[in-house]
Amino acid sequence: MKAKLYAGDTYSRTLTFKDEDGEVFDPTTITCVFKNPAGTTEGTLAKADLTNTDTGIYELKWDLPSDADKGTWTLTATATYTLSSLTKAYVFPFSVFTEPYGVVTVVRRLCGLDDDSLDDDLVGFMEDAKEPINLKLSEYATTPLTTVPTQIANVANYWAAGLYLQRNMAEGKTHPHVAYAEKLLREYINYTYLSGREGKVYATEYEEIDE
């Protein structure tokens, strides 16, 4: 399972069913119920929806709703075994987080990375970038944003990439990507909230800024 889950992600888990003696068994029926933080059932899977990889071992995959609420969700997997009248229930809590602003593939490109091996790290920097963005926007709008404008996604992409690349810079130095993101955010706030005009869509290509 991914280190962090966001709305629309795929939840995956390996289920291993054991009887009272600790012996694995293949259940007669399996019912998996997913509930959101409010306790409302959001989805169910049956035995036929799982992949049986070995005796008593099943692989589960389920797509979270695209509007999944953040918080603690639960998966309850209930197995029955007709031969011994056995019923066993397993409860697995898991957390769903608010999607960071931006797109990880864009952040990866801005960082000059060729593959997705560091994507979990980049998502962490995207979450870090979200905090100062929300701090600035909170003076004018309700944060975190439920709908992220293209301009803000672009700000977040550069900010996150800059934070990642800034690790290799001298202490106290701000990476140009971060400076560019701050500039874009100031322009967005000015055009959207202070000038009475709609925010313009900024180009996604990097604008050189002197260090």
CA distances from 130 to 110, 135, 167, 206 (A): 17, 9, 18, 19
pLDDT tens-digit map of 77-123:
999 998 888 899 999 999 988 778 998 889 999 999 998 899 889 98
Contacts of 33 (CB under 8 A, 6+ apart): 41, 43, 44, 75, 76, 78
CA distance 80 to 112: 51
SS3 169: coil
Look up the domain containing 179 and give its range: 104-194
Question: What is the domain count for the chain?
Answer: 2
Q: Has residue 126 been placed in a domain?
A: yes
Q: Has residue 199 been placed in a domain?
A: no
Tell me, yes or no, whether 65 and 43 share the same domain: yes
Tell me, yes or no, whether 42 and 126 share the same domain: no
pTM, to two decimals: 0.58
Out of 97, 132, 157, pick the residue that ends a domain: 97
Q: State the pLDDT confidence band at 67, using cuts at 50, 70 and 90.
A: confident
Tell me, yes or no, whether 32 and 93 share the same domain: yes
SS3 211: coil
pLDDT tens-digit map of 135-155:
999 999 999 888 889 999 999
Tell me, yes or no, whether 123 and 180 share the same domain: yes
